[in-house]
Structure 1
Amino acid sequence: MKFVLLFGPQAVGKMTVGQELAKITDLKCFHNHMTIDLLVPLFGYSSEMWRLCHLIREEIFKTTAKSDLYGMIFTTVWAFNDRKDWDSVEKICQIFRAEGIEIYFVELEAPVEERLKRNRTVHRLQHKPTKRNIAESEHHLLSTMETMRLNSLEGEITEKNYLRIDNSSMSAKAAALTIKERFQL
């Protein structure tokens, strides 16, 4: 079993790279909006929605960690300046570590101009209903830059299986191939 934690800021390409990685490996892609888009129509962006979102994800992680699946890719946004996000990532990793599962940390980065372009792609909007209000989505993307640090600092991630990719001028397929080759997935 292998667990790939694929993280970076909004619209950097996490879901698309994860989907491409799933195509060239036996990993299953579980992107963060699979739970968000399930719950937002019912509860909006409320504290109850986030509670349920984390609960559902935790159960999926626990079930996956004990399964005979080859592995999973999970995409997420990680606010490095928020202790709660560090704790959340650690909680996820602990589920897999408890089962002796190898964890791979992959961070994507791209300039905001590129992310704003990607925020409007047909592929993104097909898979993420809550991103279809472009004005709202762009506002959120830009406003979070003022309060959240969504890429790590040099040396901040100390995991042995860590890869940082600037995918601003790289296709999702090329990024996925880089990940597969680096970690022999």
Structure 2
Amino acid sequence: MHLLCLTGPPAVGKMTVGRAVCDRTGFRLFHNHMSIEPLLGVYDFGTPSFQRINAMIRREVIAESVVADLPGLVFTFAIDLDRPGELAQLHELIGPVERAGAPIDVVELLAPQEVRLAREGGPDRMDHKRSKRDVQWARSHVVDLESRARFTTDPERDGDRLVPGHRHLRLDNAHGDPALTAERIITELGLPHL
């Protein structure tokens, strides 16, 4: 099982690029809103209960992916790099994959905020992320989140890897062509191609 972690700020294209990678590799997609959306009907976003159950779902899906002998899993997430607890949680999530000796790669997608704000309201986000259907709210939420969180690594500050010991690519995804970004990921990481 190969774990491909796609990270970056909100609306950078993690889910869309992840789907394009899966279409070309046979990997499976576990995007961050697959665990977020079902919980929002019960718990408010960010509450302790929401965070505990969201983390549990992610942990179990990733761990079971190793046991299920999937060819690969693309996991998308946004992480506040200034909160050590979030990085610790990421290490906990990937632990079962590391213990199995399976490969793990991190791909960080980048795009300016104005590009990402324009993506709010797009068909993918509307179809798969119910919480983003109020486009005005979604745009203001991105701006608010980024005023108090850091979702993009700084090689000078963070080193060259989000997860030590595993490859880390930083790719510009401002162009809006998920197929192009997916092909670059597959080529640069040497992933299997269908």
TM-score in terms of structure 2 length: 0.91
Per-residue deviation at 1:68? 1.4
**AA aligned opposite 1:122:** P
Structure 1, unaligned runs of 5 or more: none
Q: Alignment partner of 1:43: what SS?
A: coil
Equivalent residue for 1:23? 23
Q: Does 1:173 align with 2:174?
A: no
User: After the TM superposition, which of the residue ranges 23-32 and 58-67 deviates more from structure 2?
Assistant: 58-67
Q: Where do 1:46-125 residues align within 5 Å?
A: 46-125=47-126
TM-score in terms of structure 1 length: 0.96
The number of aligned residues is: 185
Q: Does 1:148 align with 2:158?
A: no
User: After the TM superposition, which of the residue ranges 14-23 and 157-166 deviates more from structure 2?
Assistant: 157-166
Equivalent residue for 2:43? 43
The 2-side partners of 1:47 and 1:134 are apart by: 26
The 2-side partners of 1:69 and 1:149 are apart by: 32
Per-residue deviation at 1:120? 1.7
Structure 2, unaligned runs of 5 or more: none
Equivalent residue for 1:130? 131
Task: Kindly report structure 1 stretches of 4+ aligned residues shifted beyond 6 Å.
Answer: none
Deviations along 1:80-121, one digit per CA (max 9) or x if unpaired, are 111011101111121210111100000001000000011121
Q: Alignment partner of 1:180: what SS?
A: helix
The 1-side partners of 2:121 and 2:65 are apart by: 32
The 2-side partners of 1:48 and 1:145 are apart by: 23
Give the share of equivalent positions with the same residue, in percent. Answer: 29
**AA aligned opposite 1:143:** D
Equivalent residue for 1:161? 167
The 1-side partners of 2:153 and 2:30 are apart by: 22
Q: Alignment partner of 1:107: what SS?
A: strand
Q: Alignment partner of 2:41: what SS?
A: helix
Per-residue deviation at 1:170? 4.5
Contact 2:62 2:94 (8 Å CA) reproduced: no
Per-residue deviation at 1:44? 2.5
